[in-house]
Structure 1
Amino acid sequence: MKKRIGQYLMDCISAVGVDKVFGVPGDFNLTFLDDIISRDDMEWIGNTNELNASYAADGYARIKGIGAMVTTFGVGELSAVNGIAGAFAERVPVIQITGAPTRKVESAGKYVHHSLGEGNFDDYRKMYEPITTAQAYITPENAQIEIPRVIKAAINEKRPVHMHLPIDVAAIEIEVTEAFQFDDNQFKDTEKYINMVKEKLQSADHPVIIVGHEINSFNLHKKFVEFVEKTHIPVAQLSLGKGAFNEEHPYYMGVYDGILAEEEIRNYVDQSDAILNIGAKLTDSATAGYSYQFDIDDVVMMNHHNFKMNETENEHIPLSELLDALISIDYVNHSDFPKYQRPKSQDYELNRDPLTQATYFKMMQDFIKDDDVIIAEQGTSFFGAYDLALYSTNKFIGQPLWGSIGYTLPSTLGTQMADPNRRNVLLIGDGSLQLTVQEMSTMIREKVKPVIFIINNDGYTVERKIHGEHAVYNDIKMWDYKLLPTVFGGADEVSVHDVSTSESLQQAFDQINEQPHMMHLIEVKMGVHDAPIKLNAIGQAFAKQNG
């Protein structure tokens, strides 16, 4: 069957479950965009800029399993780099398609717009190499090889890929010999490594698992739970990977964040004689500046394509196959361990005193529902929210490794469009919001209904806690955030709430629950220097780390 290459590309993307494509139009992708908007199984979501499109595609992929976006050559392509790098760091598969000048223009070395004016056309593709797991220059000759190859790489590695698609190539018809199918045939021999883990466990008195974000990336929750329930090994979770393990499970201990962890959890993990690190990275923010007290060389590292135990290493085994093999281990743990204590409900007083961060997050604990998607911005919001007790059906999204402020608002567009039936609760601060706020207009245009809590505390709180508590560079211009829906054309479509006390916050909660089919924006005013307890401590750790 003859198809344009643009059509074939979208067939392949549709086959892996993508039904929304994010991006910004440009003259080098316009005719290719016709192949998107003409489809019944695909929707084009035009964003306000390419950075926001990359964040939205990332959020979409965290719910759907893979996302896609389209930019134009050069200016749009480079605007998306930050978001694609974040997806690479946090293992989120996003297909980044760049519409490029024609092959004739390129071969002639013309000084075309959006280029550097030097006649080179591969500069930007080279920039993508370190931040994508696979790259392809699509031609009529290689389309049926390269397009499937990079899509499979995105799925297998859970990382972004980059396709360079000259606009004339997108329009060329080819004979499609077979439909795209994804097949996962990564089998590796794991017996040697699993036997090593078994021997380690059998000699241990107090084993523990530290679990992290790769369980979320590879959707390995069921396999991981099966391993835990068979072995009875307790689980501590990193903030990088919140939601990797069911927090209602009897073998869940709580969040381990180094010196900041609750004393019983910290002591158990730090003194364990068999630590299995499964799908986790012990980053500075996840461990309060590497404040763990165990010897990291004694930890059994089991990440995707990274098994390490003592002097034995293997960089080829997929994490899913490691988990399959772990389930076969004949071992049961009998040691006691600290059990997770869920927060008490209504552990606060409703009054007209100025609202504090501590009360805000206690009340947020009671507000979240069992099917909510909770998106927490890398600021006061994340450092307060990662201690929220989740239900087994919650989804928690943050970006603590890459930590690009402003990520979560466009990401919420993506997560909400990936599953419109779930309530999305965005927790974000004013400094972060000001970077990417334009995407609120896309939310209004697309008629999605997230609940957006904006902490208005007049500046960059994380930075204040690291350095420059009163410095002018940590200040921002005060906005009237409640007027944003009006600015973006949604005055009648967004319910706006003004909160400064626990009493008014509860009133906002009640109104939100009474109007579940509206988008809500809540401006929450709090003190400039007030911050979650853990943020204060992590700020000090970062300051020490920075010298």
Structure 2
Amino acid sequence: MGANDIFGVPGDYNLQFLDHITHRQDLKWTGNANELNASYMADGYAREKGFAAFVTTFGVGELSAINGLAGSIAEHVPVLEIVGAPTNNVQNNGSLVHHTFGDHKFDRFEKAHRQLGIKSARLDGEHAIDQINDVAQYIYETKKPAYIILPTNLVEMEVNKSLKDSIPNLFFNKEMNSENSFEQIKSSINNIENPVIVMGHEVDRFNVFNDIKSFSSNNNIPVLDLGLGKGNIDESFSNFVGTYNGQISDESVNKYVANADTVVLIGAKLTDSVTGGFTQQFNEQNTIVLNYENANIYGKSVDKDYNFKTIMTYLSKTKLDLSLPSIKNADNVSEIKPSNNKLTQSFYDKAISQFTSADNTIVAEQGTSFFGLASQKLPKGAKFFGQPLWGSIGYAFPAALGNQIANKNRRIVLSTGEGSLQLTIQELGLAFREKLNPVMFVIDNSGYTVERVIHGMNEPYNDVPNLNYKLMPKAFGAKEDEYDFIEASTENELFDAIFKAKEEKDKLVLIQVNMEMKDVPEQLAKTAKAFADQNK
């Protein structure tokens, strides 16, 4: 399934299984500081490779990781967790072994995962092969996470080698006839005078952007993306007109949605953090929804033969009866010039965007980083992701490292706040051990700024310890020639730091960016107000 690197943490219930990873030439074990970080790292890896796997031990390990796996479920990321468990005999006998509640019950943690909607399989000797194949096919077809419980007594069980030849048969795209639902969709779009396409995260998971691009080009339909899904596409595409975030979007973006008589939503979830707090300018009555699991036209479900991938293939070849003018997408982005002024969030966001290149993947932590950078247009080839739906702080750093491991030909540009980084900074040691070379921008603005804007601007619960980031690389085992630390407090200093980071391609470059506590991106300020209103 494409995952050559396996993440996780060893524990006595998975050690024998880990031998079968470390003793192979085609797999690499990448051990983590803790299981939560492993789940985040696997999520970031899967966003680049299309699949990831990590291994934990029973009980204590899997519960530590469950937050990260929940994020993968929320944001539709194909990750497999393999949990090393006590033997079937121990479980059947209800023995009072460690990493349990001491109550003879071994299904508690499996039930927790099932309750979250995560597909699970507890392997047994008689059906293990079918169970594993079922889970693999589920992940491949749905692009959702899953969870396998592997009792230690099954690890050394012999398997007929001839079964290996049948594995490729699990992974094929089933040709499905979706003519009825397609005709419904096509005829509805043909009756539109001024459509616009808004794309979400499933466009990436199912690799259908080229289909949308072709459909848009054939019919001159403008295309926008949401923050949940940004970076999945080539934003240099001539019909791409911007990233939409409800009514708080830039006016040049807003007009396309405000003037549309129908919005074609493709692979999208309309969450509060990517719709300006539910301020989108459309509703069920003027929306055609095409998602992986379902589709509806103005609130009514389409025919039961609907298949997302098939429909997108049909649309890519469709020339509608519409006669829409070519899209005049003026690129008004102008280069910024630095001064000795104190660094601001607005200048920082534009600077990161200006220096992003085709081989960069920007990873933005939820908060000031995500809201400031999500509205910036990406150059051709550049990628971007964050976690705006699940929004677990600390996610971005390990996810960025996982993404870098998945494709070392791309260079990660991480933007995170000092508060978020402190949750998962333990993986800095892994970055040096694996000889990774991301550029890490750590925004030091005296605490949890996004929370301050929502509530408690000056309250102590939004403060964080003041770490000395200059000492961090050495503390986590870095040699002098493996990293560079730069501190930037002015516009000129930030430019100098970025130029140096681009030159130092073989180093991890950690840039501490100092900004004022109350300095927030405009879109974050507006969204935070919406969040605060929701909580009243």
2:150 maps to which residue? Answer: 165
Pairing of 1:97-112 with structure 2 (within 5 A): 97-112=82-97
CA drift at 1:221: 2.0
1:334 maps to which residue? Answer: 323
1:63 equivalent among 48, 51, 54: 48
- 1:419 and 2:419 correspond: no
1:141 maps to which residue? Answer: 126
Residue type of the alignment partner of 1:498: E
Residue type of the alignment partner of 1:495: D
1:123 maps to which residue? Answer: 108
- 1:469 and 2:454 correspond: no
2:522 maps to which residue? Answer: 533
CA drift at 1:282: 1.0
Pairing of 1:8-157 with structure 2 (within 5 A): 16-157=1-142
Structure 1 residues 394-441: Cα deviation after superposition (integer angstroms, max 9, x where no partner)? 121111111111101001111111011211110101111011110111
2:394 maps to which residue? Answer: 406
Is the contact made by 1:352 and 1:502 (CA closer than 8 Å) also made in structure 2? Answer: yes
1:435 maps to which residue? Answer: 423
SS in 2 for 1:173: coil
- 1:544 and 2:533 correspond: yes
Structure 1 residues 300-336: Cα deviation after superposition (integer angstroms, max 9, x where no partner)? 1100011111322467744212201223433054335
SS in 2 for 1:288: coil
Name structure 1 gaps, 5 residues minimum. Answer: 1-15
Normalised TM-score (structure 1): 0.94
CA distance in 2, matches of 1:317, 1:283: 24
Is the contact made by 1:134 and 1:154 (CA closer than 8 Å) also made in structure 2? Answer: no
Residue type of the alignment partner of 1:153: Y
Distance 1:227 1:338, change over 3 A: closer
1:507 maps to which residue? Answer: 496
1:312 maps to which residue? Answer: 301
Distance 1:123 1:539, change over 3 A: same
Structure 1 residues 128-163: Cα deviation after superposition (integer angstroms, max 9, x where no partner)? 114454211112211221111101111111111000
CA distance in 2, matches of 1:291, 1:342: 25
Normalised TM-score (structure 2): 0.96
Is the contact made by 2:214 and 2:317 (CA closer than 8 Å) also made in structure 1? Answer: no
Is the contact made by 2:417 and 2:442 (CA closer than 8 Å) also made in structure 1? Answer: yes
CA distance in 1, matches of 2:119, 2:30: 24
CA drift at 1:247: 1.4
CA drift at 1:383: 0.5
- 1:455 and 2:440 correspond: no
Name structure 2 gaps, 5 residues minimum. Answer: none
CA distance in 2, matches of 1:495, 1:91: 35
2:310 maps to which residue? Answer: 321
Structure 1 residues 25-62: Cα deviation after superposition (integer angstroms, max 9, x where no partner)? 00000010000000000000000000000000111111
1:481 equivalent among 469, 478, 483: 469
Residue type of the alignment partner of 1:546: N
CA drift at 1:518: 0.8
Q: Which moved more, 1:433-442 or 1:484-493?
A: 484-493
Is the contact made by 2:358 and 2:382 (CA closer than 8 Å) also made in structure 1? Answer: yes
CA distance in 1, matches of 2:372, 2:82: 36
Is the contact made by 1:88 and 1:159 (CA closer than 8 Å) also made in structure 2? Answer: yes
CA drift at 1:344: 3.1
SS in 2 for 1:405: coil
Residue type of the alignment partner of 2:24: R
SS in 1 for 2:198: strand
CA distance in 2, matches of 1:467, 1:64: 38
Is the contact made by 1:306 and 1:316 (CA closer than 8 Å) also made in structure 2? Answer: no
SS in 1 for 2:269: coil
Distance 1:264 1:446, change over 3 A: closer
Distance 1:335 1:86, change over 3 A: same
Is the contact made by 2:58 and 2:84 (CA closer than 8 Å) also made in structure 1? Answer: yes
Is the contact made by 1:378 and 1:400 (CA closer than 8 Å) also made in structure 2? Answer: yes
The percent identity for this pair of structures is 41
Residue type of the alignment partner of 1:448: L
SS in 2 for 1:259: coil
CA distance in 1, matches of 2:228, 2:119: 25
Is the contact made by 2:220 and 2:326 (CA closer than 8 Å) also made in structure 1? Answer: no
1:195 maps to which residue? Answer: 183
Residue type of the alignment partner of 1:505: L
CA drift at 1:347: 2.0
1:174 equivalent among 152, 159, 164: 159
Residue type of the alignment partner of 2:510: L
CA distance in 1, matches of 2:61, 2:475: 25
SS in 1 for 2:125: coil
1:287 maps to which residue? Answer: 275
SS in 2 for 1:209: strand
CA distance in 2, matches of 1:258, 1:338: 21
SS in 1 for 2:273: coil
Is the contact made by 1:371 and 1:423 (CA closer than 8 Å) also made in structure 2? Answer: yes
